[in-house]
Amino acid sequence: MTVHFHEEDLPGDVFAPGAAIAVDTETMGLITPRDRLCLVQLSDGTGDEHLVRFNPGSDYAAPVLRAVLADPARVKLYHFARFDIAALRHYLGVVAAPVYCTKTASRLVRTYTDRHGLKELVRELLGQDISKQQQSSDWGGPELSEAQRDYAASDVRFLHRLRDELDRRLAREGRTALAQACFDFLPARAELDLAGWPEVDIFAHV
């Protein structure tokens, strides 16, 4: 297992064509237009993670990264896809789909709990512990510590294995098609967030 660190873009030919890619982002905060995108993490599930850091004032050109994210033949795996899709759309100008969201899948099959964070999922489904100590650290600083890099990498390290287990549970409960419909809607939900409806349920009666 190796964590590869890159500035401003991926090198070419990092991932095999068509391979599903786990994706996560680190930003300066939770308000997408205000809090800049600092880091994009990616993994194809083979054991390595790739971190792409964007510096203050970046133009987010990143042609290789954009091509990977926008590839319609490549499923992108997220945990809480809604946020990451919005950040990637706002800063990189790509719709990073098709989508699989482990948090959405968890909410559909783990109805016996209200704990759907990545740490809880990895512990229950995979029997491993991950640290979230660096979650609220400064991702925009001039240097990222080894602890920050390892934390960022861990956010994509387990998503392929989680998808496999969640898919089994979705099939067992007869919710596979419902989950796929939710995944297909997530890019539109992210667009609603960016367009000014972050907390409004436009399907609500009142």
pLDDT confidence of residue 13: 84
The candidate with the shortest Cα–Cα distance to 86, out of 196, 200, 202, is 196
What would the DSSP string read from start to end of 166-185?
A: HHHHHHHTT-HHHHHHHHHH
The candidate with the shortest Cα–Cα distance to 4, out of 64, 52, 56, 55, is 52
Residue with tokens 């205000």: 34
Q: Is residue 200 pLDDT above 70, yes or no?
A: yes
Tens digit of pLDDT for each residue in 69-127?
A: 999 999 999 999 999 999 999 999 999 999 999 999 999 999 999 999 999 999 999 99
pLDDT confidence of residue 31: 96
Name every residue whose Cβ is closer than 8 Å to that of residue 99 and which is 6 or more positions away in sequence: 75, 76, 78, 81, 85, 183, 184, 186, 187
pLDDT confidence of residue 131: 75
pLDDT confidence of residue 113: 97
**Torsion (CA) 146, 27, 153, 5 in degrees, nearest 10:** -60
- Kindly list the structural domains of the chain, giving each domain's residue range(s) and its CATH number in brackets, ordered by start: 3-195 (3.30.420.10)
Q: What is the mean pLDDT of residues 44-57?
A: 96
Q: What is the pTM of this model?
A: 0.95
pLDDT confidence of residue 130: 86
pLDDT confidence of residue 133: 66
Q: Is residue 183 pLDDT above 90, yes or no?
A: yes
